Chains A and B, each alone.
Chain A
Amino acid sequence: MAALIRGLRAGRALRGLGGVAVQGTVSLQCSNVRRGFHRAALLRLASDSKSDTSVPPPSYHEVHTAGESSSSSAQGESSEDAQPNTSFQDQSGEHGEDYETEEQLQARILTAALEFVPQHGWTVEAIAAAAETLGLSSASTGMFNNGAGDLVLHFVAQCNAQLAETLAEQNNQVQLGQSEAKKTAEFLKDAVETRLRMLIPYIDTWPQAMSILLLPHNIPDSLKHLSTMVDDIWYYAGDRSTDVNWYTRRAALTGIYNTTELVMVQDSSPDFEETWAFLDNRIKDVVNMANTAKQVQATGEAVVQGLMGAAITVTTQKMIQFPERNILALTIMSCLYFSDYMKEKCLACLSFT
């Protein structure tokens, strides 16, 4: 199947590649066509194993995509495909030769397919339409075992990569002292808003995408993307916790993100004002809960201190009066110390900010 596609591509290479202007790529058509001629004679009959890079696939010759987002989507794509991405691009960090791997091709097709989503929805038709735009046969959709799932996951990975990029850039600015660090609540709000705004062009069809992500065979991948995104946001918000807070914070932010996403697909206000207001309120809730937890902890500590003091006084008295009750008193005291620490730690689990 892959060989067939490459044969078709070889034919089209001679006609010059129909300006695949994906993310502003530079086309080196002349040299490519020459090299395409040379290599078109050799049809690659080997199976499409992505890890075989010692023999460059000779039957076609594509303009290599220099766009950052497509390389990041290739990364995202390769991580979803769960196959070892041992292509040359990892070793040298750049595209040494002017051909692309199958993952890169898939990434290009899927990125192009996003343009057809408003028209066809998150379906294989969109991928087929994109393949035709790129000058490939619509049968190339056979490359995508998961069909629409591949498209949605690719889009999610692309958005997450963009978000990470933005957050890293902001972090850089703060490190260089060019901008002020935001408070946690504001940072989280801005990060979630930035990420959700990427859905706006596809908001009409997004419920379909969400249902695709909830299909059982897609759930592991979609959860992985979600957890990586939430981890990224917290990392750049400055969270360096390594105790149970790590879990509570990420769980809270996941809840906030998911509910806000649901509100967004039903929102019809201008520029989704209601969604952002909802988001603001949710984040305020969580921050309030954290503050309340701190207050409860302080109060609890004071109460426990008082009780402990009373208990120790009583048991010490008993120890003096009744020597034979010492063991009992000792046991009581050690239990009190122990429960004090336990209570402290339980309340500490609720801390958020």
Chain B
Amino acid sequence: LTYARRGYVVLPPTSDEEEKAMLHRMMRVDHAGEYGANRIYAGQMAVLGRTQISPLIQEMWDQEKQHLRKFNEILAENRVRPTLLLPLWNIAGFALGAGSALLGKEGAMACTVAVEESISEHYNSQIRTLMEKDPEKYTELLQLIKEFRDDEMEHHDQLIIEILVFALPFYVLLTHDPSLLQVPGYQLMKAIIQVGCKAAIYISERL
């Protein structure tokens, strides 16, 4: 009876406890991810807010805000519990954004590239899970996740071009290898960030 009274936004209504738990877990971790991404951009803007890179960061930040708003709506209407660690992601995200921005605008962009790559991979694995279960039932949810994943990939690609063409053309000319991995220090930073993101996703799913 209580189910009849609850509104449903994007998530299909279900009375199977396991399925509901799985969907809630997915939404919880996605919400935490968008919240963290929001804070990362905020940290970057706090340091680089008055440089020439700021319009680009602001534009990407606005898109992330939009994603977060959508997830807030989904969580509220579907009565999903947000993760307990949100204050932690708040501080950690801001610290990561500000820290990478203190390395300069290349640092900020490299950090964002690594994070967006992690997020896209995470969304892709969610899409795979849902497709394996029942694509028909989850059409709306799949559409949403695909749209957000495409947005994140767009940020990723945009920033790679920014870095390689505008910030480090010298490297590209020398090595003829348009991959960020050649840049010293990037591999280390990317590894750290991706391990961090994986840990964050793991914890947020459970807590």
Contacts and interface: CB of A to CB of B under 8 A. Distances in A.
B2 A161 contact: yes
A168 interface: yes
Contacts, number: 56
Contacts of A84: 16-17
A65 B155 CA distance: 57
Contact of A90 (B2, B15, B17, B72): B15
Given A242-B31, A242-B76, A345 B90 contact: yes
Given A90-B15, A341-B94, A231 B79 contact: yes
B1 A75 contact: yes
B1 A71 contact: yes
B82 A242 contact: yes
Contacts of A334: 47, 98, 102
B94 A242 contact: no
Given A164-B2, A240-B72, A338-B98, A235 B79 contact: yes
A242 B15 CA distance: 23
B91 A68 contact: no
Contacts of A241: 76
Interface residues of A, number: 31
Interface in B89-107: 90-91, 94-95, 98, 102
Given A235-B79, A341-B94, A244 B86 contact: yes
Interface residues of B, number: 26
Contact of B1 (A82, A90, A161): A161
A165 B91 contact: no
A253 B72 CA distance: 22
Contacts of A45: none
Interface in B135-187: none
A235 B6 CA distance: 10
B95 A240 contact: no
A223 to B, nearest CB: 13
Interface in A317-346: 334, 337-338, 341-342, 345
Contacts of A244: 86-87
Interface in B1-19: 1-3, 5, 15-17
A75 B79 CA distance: 18
A337 B1 contact: no
Nearest to B42: A341
Interface string A161-198: 10011001000000000000000000000000000000
A79 B16 CA distance: 10
B47 to A, nearest CB: 8
B84 interface: yes
A254 interface: no
Given A338-B95, A338-B98, A342-B91, A240 B76 contact: yes
Nearest to B47: A334
Q: Which of B31, B87, B102 has the most CB of A within 10 A?
A: B87
Contacts of A247: 84
Contacts of B90: 345
Contact of A243 (B79, B86, B102): B86
A75 B2 contact: yes
A349 interface: yes
Contact of B82 (A82, A168, A243, A349): A243
Nearest to B73: A240
Contacts of A140: none
Given A246-B81, A334-B98, A345 B1 contact: no
A228 B3 CA distance: 12
A85 interface: yes
A231 B82 CA distance: 12
B2 A85 contact: no
Contacts of A235: 79
A79 B17 CA distance: 9
B126 to A, nearest CB: 19
B60 interface: no
17 contacts: A79-B17, A85-B15, A164-B2, A164-B5, A165-B5, A232-B2, A240-B72, A241-B76, A242-B31, A242-B71, A242-B75, A242-B76, A337-B46, A338-B98, A341-B94, A345-B87, A349-B87
Given A165-B5, A228-B2, A246-B82, 16 more contacts: A72-B2, A82-B17, A161-B1, A161-B2, A164-B2, A232-B2, A240-B72, A240-B76, A241-B76, A242-B31, A242-B82, A334-B47, A334-B102, A338-B94, A338-B98, A345-B91
Closest 8 CB pairs of A and B: A72-B1, A240-B76, A168-B5, A242-B82, A242-B75, A242-B72, A164-B2, A246-B82
